[in-house]
Amino acid sequence: LLPLDVIEDIIDMFCNDLWTLCNISLSCRALLDRSRRHIFVHIYIRRKDQLENLSEFLDARPWLPPLIK
């Protein structure tokens, strides 16, 4: 087994690979938080309805807004 800090470094290497990060986040609860740091770092809004959906999404997930840059 690898120490968690080594696994987190590996996750960080995939910071630009959303598909891989999503799969990592689904593989183990212990890896979810580190994966989320990269998955939600950028959110793109192109239409007004997306903004409304995002507002509802964030209201239901209070842990998420601090991750968004």
| Residues 4-54: tens digit of each pLDDT | 999 999 999 999 999 999 999 999 999 999 999 999 898 889 999 999 899
Residue 68 has pLDDT above 90, yes or no: no
Helix 4-13 crosses helix 29-39 at what angle (to 10 degrees)?
Answer: 30
Q: Six-digit token pair at 10?
A: 């590996």
